[in-house]
Amino acid sequence: MKTKDSKIKVIDLFCGIGGLTHGLIKEGLDVVAGIDNDSSCKFGYEYNNKIQFIDKDILKVTAEQINDLFGKEKGIIRVLAGCAPCQPFSKLNLNNITKKQLEPLGKFAQLITQTQPDIVSMENVSDLAIEDKYPVFKSFLKTLENNGYNYKYEIVDVSEFGVPQKRRRLVLLASKFGEIQLIKRTHKDKKITVRDVISYLEPIKAGEISKKDPLHRSRKLAPINLQRIKATPHNGGNCESWSKELMLECHKKESGKTYRGSVYGRMCWDKPSPTMTTQCIGLGNGRYGHPTQNRAISLREAAIFQTFPEYYQFSDPTKPIQIGKVAKFIGNAVPVRLGSVIGRSIKEHLSKNYEERR
């Protein structure tokens, strides 16, 4: 068995701002390129990772381009990784999926067939694993089987790997060298909490920007929403405690009662945060209220919950921060620590299963 002198090269499809890439780099993997059709990710991806960002629609990426990026050096272990856009498979989009939205995952499978990477990594929303609902996933698995891969996928709560966030994701690993799976849970019995990671930050008000950290800023609240957050009990409270005048009209209806606990709520200090989304800095978009301060979480806090290091730049520091765009970068990202877990899982697999090819 030999991996020390072998090079693990990775291409990150659907790379976004680089959460997965950065985690893989932290584990010593050589990511050679990231590919995404959102050109606004280019600065952050290249600045933080020192890796080429290719601005291209995945549907236009060719096998020749992938093979050229991997190169022809002997002894290379080729890893094709990616998180196809997950919005089509979210619970909010159950009945509105179009054929076009499924194409990126189908293209990922096609590139696997055409380029035959040694290892495949795929991360997506947990609902994708419901095979009778999403035949495209069943087809993806069939592609792996037909091309000689051993694979395993599982639904993981990333908080069990030390991400301070409750986030259920499907993670798949496939290999031509033998059985492959994620490493054992590192934080199954001791979750990292909201208090653990953001309690040190200086207090700020709604609409305020920290003088020490330009990313530690929260959105300004409309007067009615400021009243609502002030009326929300600290440390996990929600709109159930509001007076009737503060209650949203839709929540007064019988059909809206089930949603009361899922929006306009505060986080709990001693639990992981809720799932970060592209709307995670909006008070009315989930339980994104600060545990004690009268505001929604800041961009810095969202980045911390996604385990981005403090030095990570999401946009050109010489230009004004576009708060909505940065929130989108953060919410769409693979948590950096999950990227590290995937990288470590690949390395452990190779240390047990890789035999240098002749």
Give the separation between CA 80 and CA 65, rounded to whole angstroms. Answer: 13
**CATH 3.40.50.150 in the chain, residues?**
7-187+336-353
8-state DSSP, 56: -
Give the separation between CA 309 and CA 323, rounded to whole angstroms. Answer: 18
Of 15, 41, 83, 86, the catalytic one is 86
Give the separation between CA 300 and CA 278, rounded to whole angstroms. Answer: 14
83 is catalytic: no
User: Which are the contacts of 277, defined by CB distance < 8 A and separation ≥ 6?
Assistant: 285, 286, 331
CATH topology of domain 7-187+336-353: Rossmann fold (3.40.50)
Residue with tokens 């301070």: 164
Helices (H) and strands (E) in the chain, counts: 11, 7
User: Which are the contacts of 305, defined by CB distance < 8 A and separation ≥ 6?
Assistant: 163, 164, 165, 194, 197, 198, 273, 276, 280, 297
Query: pLDDT tens track of the chain, all 358 residues?
Result: 344 445 999 999 999 999 999 999 999 999 999 999 999 999 999 999 999 999 999 999 999 999 999 998 988 999 999 887 755 445 544 455 556 667 889 999 999 999 999 999 999 988 888 766 678 889 999 999 999 999 999 999 999 999 999 999 999 999 999 999 999 999 999 999 999 999 999 999 999 999 999 999 999 999 999 999 999 999 999 888 898 889 887 666 555 555 556 689 999 999 999 999 999 999 998 999 999 999 999 999 999 999 999 999 999 999 999 999 999 999 999 999 999 999 999 999 999 987 644 3
User: Which are the contacts of 340, defined by CB distance < 8 A and separation ≥ 6?
Assistant: 23, 24, 26, 27
Q: Is 124 helix (H, G, I), strand (E, B) or coil?
A: strand
User: Which are the contacts of 73, defined by CB distance < 8 A and separation ≥ 6?
Assistant: 7
**Per-residue DSSP letters for 150-169?**
EEEEEEEEGGGGT-SB--EE
Q: What is the pLDDT of residue 74?
A: 87
Question: What is the phi-psi region of residue 128: left when phi exceeds 0, alpha when psi lies from -120 to 50, beta otherwise?
Answer: alpha
Of 4, 15, 8, 147, nearest to 71 by C-alpha is: 8
Quote the distance between the C-alpha of residue 175 and its chain's center: 22
Q: Which residues pair with 81 in a beta bridge?
A: 12, 121
Q: What is the pLDDT of residue 4?
A: 47
Give the separation between CA 102 and CA 98, rounded to whole angstroms. Answer: 7
Give CA separation, 198 vs 101, 267, 268, 307, in Å: 36, 12, 12, 11
The tokens describing 266, both together, are 């505060």
**CATH 3.90.120.10 in the chain, residues?**
194-332
Supply the CATH classification number for the domain 194-332.
Answer: 3.90.120.10
Q: What is the pLDDT of residue 261?
A: 60
- Could you give the angle at the alpha carbon of 165 between the alpha carbons of 159 and 168, nearest 5°? 65
Give the separation between CA 308 and CA 52, rounded to whole angstroms. Answer: 20
* Cβ count within 10 A of residue 184: 10
Q: What is the pLDDT of residue 83?
A: 83
